[in-house]
């Protein structure tokens, strides 16, 4: 019995004449250039095996802040379906509004973007399919470290995927839909920089946990056995946590050997690494309070959001939109897009009304169309008086 059967996923019967393969095995795009593929286990969508651990990376406040800004902002933007030919907005398929029937769309999208940011690839597993054409009808987000790949002999294409070391089908219920990011993901691409940030955070934590600067207790008398030495050190630490004043016998002398956090420029190091993390995640430094070298310039809210969308969000928006618009998921001639302009980049009410007024004066739209643009209920028949 396969894993799909054990999880209770049963494929519905589909007409073989209208069958649509529900997965395109993508080529491997994350192999390092200039080196042997798979050397030291790098590349091939399993690169995260040697990358920085995600939980360790998220322990750095600046990484967590960048991640939340990107993931939570995109997750709050609705998805809409449009006609490629006319640009008309169409009724959404059920899964566009709610990919996983167990949770809201925003949750699924937030963790999908998280996977793209961290690992460079995200996975949705098909849990239901439409009976008429075998296209996926529902999904569930799958954690990256539970998925492995079987590559071809040259390591350039994926032959099949495995979930918890069990082979998955390449179409229908139980198959994986993959989202490829536009780079390798920060856990591999910026492993050294994130590792440095983790080290700085660890050093700051040690400094805050140590009641006094690290030092040496020098014994000028007879040598002591190891058990007694360990007891003296434990008692010293415990006593310093309770009181700052210490007492030593005539044969013991305390000599400080460490600098204070200020002397070690720890605050500056933390701030510098925050700036580096903003660069790693393509997030404006001012959004995570990490500006060090650039002075603040005037920028209104809408301009700041446009910059954030263009340089931080657009790579992930594009990766998700283009994958959801492929023919194995949506019918030909339709596309799925985030309603960015209508939500996150929506202008203030006065600016929108000025545009609507000019369009009305030019005869480009009707009053009902103008009201619809502002999410107002149209008046209907012009002969009927509006309710006051």
Identify whether 46 is part of a domain: yes
My answer on whether 31 and 174 are in the same domain is yes
My answer on whether 377 and 239 are in the same domain is no
My answer on whether 342 and 352 are in the same domain is no
My answer on whether 172 and 303 are in the same domain is yes
More confident residue, 108 or 213: 108
My answer on whether 135 and 172 are in the same domain is yes
My answer on whether 236 and 151 are in the same domain is no
pLDDT for the residue numbered 125:
94
More confident residue, 132 or 179: 179
Q: Sorting pLDDT into bands at 50, 70 and 90, what band is 42?
A: very low
pLDDT for the residue numbered 307:
85
Identify whether 388 is part of a domain: no
Q: Sorting pLDDT into bands at 50, 70 and 90, what band is 354?
A: confident
Minimum mean pLDDT range among 102-116, 173-187, 225-239, 366-380: 366-380
**Number of structural domains found in the chain:** 3
| Rounded mean pLDDT, 174-195 | 90
Q: pLDDT tens-digit profile of 142-164? A: 999 899 888 888 878 888 899 98
Q: pLDDT tens-digit profile of 281-309? A: 999 888 888 765 455 555 566 678 888 88
Identify whether 367 is part of a domain: yes
| Rounded mean pLDDT, 60-67 | 94
My answer on whether 340 and 367 are in the same domain is no
Highest mean pLDDT among 36-40, 57-61, 151-155: 57-61
Q: Give CA–CA dist 197/87, Å, rounded.
A: 46
More confident residue, 380 or 129: 129
My answer on whether 330 and 359 are in the same domain is no
Q: How far apart, in Å, are the Cα atoms of 369 and each of 81, 107, 210, 250?
A: 20, 33, 67, 91
| Rounded mean pLDDT, 222-248 | 80
My answer on whether 184 and 328 are in the same domain is yes
My answer on whether 328 and 232 are in the same domain is no
Q: How far apart, in Å, are the Cα atoms of 312 and each of 73, 96, 193, 280, 309?
A: 11, 23, 19, 10, 6
My answer on whether 357 and 331 are in the same domain is no
More confident residue, 202 or 187: 187
My answer on whether 235 and 293 are in the same domain is no
More confident residue, 174 or 241: 174
Identify whether 9 is part of a domain: yes
Domain boundary among 229, 257, 285: 257
Kindly report whether the global pTM for this prediction surpasses the value 0.75: no
User: Domain range spanning residue 112?
Assistant: 1-209+265-346
Highest mean pLDDT among 116-120, 131-135, 384-388: 116-120
């Amino acid at each position: 019995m396969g894993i799909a059967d054990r999880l209770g996923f049963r494929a519905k019967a589909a007409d073989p004449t209208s069958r649509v393969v529900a997965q395109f095995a993508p080529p491997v795009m994350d192999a390092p250039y200039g080196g042997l593929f798979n050397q030291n286990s790098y590349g091939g969508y399993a690169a995260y095996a040697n990358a920085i651990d995600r939980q360790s990376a998220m322990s750095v406040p600046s990484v967590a802040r960048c991640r939340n800004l990107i993931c939570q902002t995109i997750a709050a933007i609705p998805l809409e379906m449009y006609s490629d030919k006319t640009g008309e907005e169409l009724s959404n398929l059920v899964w566009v509004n709610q990919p996983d029937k167990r949770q809201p769309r925003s949750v699924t999208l937030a963790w999908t973007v998280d996977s793209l940011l961290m690992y460079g690839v995200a996975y949705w597993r098909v849990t239901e399919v439409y009976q008429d054409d075998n296209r996926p009808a529902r999904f569930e987000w799958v954690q990256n470290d539970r998925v492995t790949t079987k590559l071809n002999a040259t390591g350039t294409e994926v032959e099949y995927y495995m979930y918890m070391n069990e082979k998955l089908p390449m179409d229908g219920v139980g198959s994986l839909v993959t989202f490829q990011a536009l780079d390798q993901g920060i856990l591999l691409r910026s492993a050294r920089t994130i590792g440095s940030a983790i080290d700085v955070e660890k050093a700051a934590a040690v400094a805050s946990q140590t009641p006094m600067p690290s030092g040496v207790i020098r014994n000028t008398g007879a040598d002591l056995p190891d058990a007694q030495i360990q007891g003296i050190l434990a008692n010293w630490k415990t006593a310093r946590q309770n009181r700052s004043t210490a007492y030593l016998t005539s044969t013991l002398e305390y000599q400080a050997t460490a600098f204070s956090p200020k002397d070690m420029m720890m605050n500056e190091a933390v701030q510098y690494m925050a700036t580096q993390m903003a660069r790693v995640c393509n997030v404006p430094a001012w959004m995570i309070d990490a500006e060090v070298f650039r002075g603040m310039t005037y920028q209104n809210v809408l301009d700041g959001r446009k910059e954030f969308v263009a340089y931080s969000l657009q790579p992930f928006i594009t990766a998700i939109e283009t994958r959801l618009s492929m023919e194995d998921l949506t019918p030909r001639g339709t596309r799925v897009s985030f309603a960015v302009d209508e939500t996150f980049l929506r202008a203030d009410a006065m600016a929108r009304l000025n545009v609507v007024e000019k369009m009305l004066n030019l005869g480009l739209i009707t009053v009902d169309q103008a009201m619809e643009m502002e999410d107002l209920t149209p008046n209907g028949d012009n002969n009927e008086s509006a309710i006051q």
